[in-house]
Amino acid sequence: MAIREAESRDGTVIVYRATGPAGARPLVLLHGWASNLQCWGAAADALAERFRVVAVDLRGHGYSGAPAAGYDDPANWAADVAAVLAAEGIAGNAVLLGWSYGGLVLTDYLAEHGTSAVAGVIYAGAITGIGRDIPGGRNGERMEAAIPGVFEESPGRAVRAFTLFGDANTGARRDAGVDAQRLFGASLATPPRVRKALFVRTRDNDATLRKIDVPALVLHGVDDPIVDIAAARYAAETIPGAATSFWPGAKHAPFIEDPARFVAEITDFVDAI
C-alpha cells in the first residue's frame, strides 16, 4: 500500500492511496460528501486483488488540503482528479467510480477533460448535478432533514444532525457497527466550513452526461434516503447506453451494505470493458 500526493492546479495537495497490482487496470475511487478514502472498507481491499485501486481524499477531506475557497468551482474538482491520474501515469484505461458527491466530482472531471483517459465510469449512490430543482442532484429525505444542522460548528448540534442519517449507509446489516462509526467519524472530522461549501453551488451537468462515450454503470439503492433514487434514474436515462443495477431495499452505501455483491458487480462491469 502506498500513500501518495499530487498537487492540483491551485496548489491544493490531494492525498490518495494506491493498492493492488501495479500493472492492473486502474480503478479510481472518489468518495462522498464529508467522508474520506477509508470509507470503502473491505470492498476496496477485495477490489485491489484484481485492480490497481486508487482511493482519493477529495479536497477538504481526509488528509488532502482544505483551501479557504474554491469548492464551488467545478474546474478545481476536475483538476484534482486529473492531477491524481497524471501522478499515477494513468492514461486511457482508468475506470472512475464516484459514490454520492463523488459522482458529481467524476462528472466535473468529464466536463473539463472528456473521456480520453477513461475507459469506463461508475456512479454508485451518486449525484451528477447539484442545486435546487436539479434532477441529477435530488436529495433524499434524511439528507433534507439533516441540513443545515450538519453544517454547524457546535459539536452538539452537528452530532445531533448527523444522527438523523441513522442506518442510511449500513442498511439492514447488523454487524456494520465498525463501518458505521468509521463513516460517522469521517463526517465529523470534515471541517464544518467544507461540509457547507460543497453545497453552495448549482450545476446540472446534463450536457456532459449526454456526451459520455464510454461504458457507464449506474448502481443505486432503491431505498436510499440520502440521494434519492430519482437522481440515479435520471443519470441512467441521460447517459447513452448506461447499464443499471438498482438494489431493492438497499440504502446509500452499497459497498457497506453488501460488499461481496458490490465487488462482484464492479468486477463484472470492469472486466467487460
Euclidean distance between CA atoms 273 and 266, whole angstroms: 11
Summarize pLDDT for 59-100 with one digit per residue, the tens: 999 999 999 999 999 999 999 999 999 999 998 899 999 999
Nearest to 168 by CA among 67, 33, 271: 33
Euclidean distance between CA atoms 118 and 217, whole angstroms: 14
Of all residues in the chain, the percent with pLDDT exceeding 70 is 100
Summarize pLDDT for 218-249 with one digit per residue, the tens: 999 999 999 999 999 999 999 999 999 999 99
Q: Identify the band that residue 168 occupies on the pLDDT scale cut at 50, 70 and 90.
A: very high
Euclidean distance between CA atoms 273 and 93, whole angstroms: 10
Whole-model pTM: value is 0.97
Nearest to 185 by CA among 15, 41, 14: 41
Kind and range of the H or E run holding 122: strand 118-124
Summarize pLDDT for 10-61 with one digit per residue, the tens: 999 999 999 999 999 999 999 999 999 999 999 999 999 999 999 999 999 9
Query: At residue 211, what is the residue type?
Result: K
Euclidean distance between CA atoms 144 and 219, whole angstroms: 22
Q: Whole-number mean pLDDT of the chain?
A: 96
Q: Which CATH number fits domain 2-271: 3.40.50.300, 2.70.98.60, 3.40.50.1820, 2.40.30.10?
A: 3.40.50.1820
Please tell me the predicted confidence (pLDDT) of residue 234.
Answer: 98
- What is the distance, to the nearest Å, from the Cα of residue 113 to the centroid of all Cα atoms in its chain? 18
Please report, for the chain, the start and end positions of each structural domain, with discontinuous segments joined by +: 2-271
What grid cell was written down for 199?
453545497
Average pLDDT over residues 165-178: 91
